Amino acid sequence: MNQFKASNGTRLLRALFYETTPIDKAGVLYTLKDVDHKGYPSLYRLYMKLDDLTEYEFSQMYMDGWEHWTMLCECPWFKDVVTRWRKELLLRTQANCLRAIRLEASEGKNQYHANKYLLEAGWQEPDTKKRGRPSKEDIKKEAEAQASNVVRLREDFKRISTNAQKAN
């Protein structure tokens, strides 16, 4: 019998977890907590331990395959959980890569490129938020700013010219 399926052949979702199974915990395999709990292994711990950004190997080892994993990830009650896991795994991977780049920057053959990458903060997402046409309010504010700059420059020029004429 498949431990990931109910007696009617449907895949288990809520029934996999200690926290989401209300009464009969006989088929429970995991806990949603970050650490093992009451003898149930933490799926979070297993997810982080495997360090699989694709999640394919994880689905093969701890679920009934890729389809079962995607079914679970699409459950509204599980989405926030897996989103947090994915974000943390990605962040941990980035931290490990940056540690290796810093080591390369100080001791490796590609010091120049590694230091350039670190200096330019190449690991950060570029700001790709492109705006459309500016609003009328933004245009008005920019025009007022430019006009005040022109007025200020004229006043400065007039003051400097007057001081220069007095000095002569």
Q: Which of 39-48, 76-85, 154-163 has the lowest mean pLDDT?
A: 154-163
pLDDT at 130 over 70: no
The confidence band for 127, taking pLDDT boundaries of 50, 70 and 90, is low
SS (H, E, C) 108-165: CCCHHHHHHHHHCCCCCCCCCCCCCCCCHHHHHHHHHHHHHHHHHHHHHHHHHHHHHH
| Residues 38 and 63 grouped into a single domain | yes
- Show the domain range for 141: 134-168
pTM higher than 0.85? no
The pLDDT of residue 4: 92
Residue 4 lies in a domain: no
The total number of structural domains that make up the chain: 2
| Residues 105 and 164 grouped into a single domain | no
| Residues 97 and 149 grouped into a single domain | no
Euclidean distance between CA atoms 29 and 38, whole angstroms: 11
Question: Average pLDDT, stretch 83-100?
Answer: 89
| Residues 106 and 155 grouped into a single domain | no
| Residues 115 and 138 grouped into a single domain | no
Residue 139 lies in a domain: yes
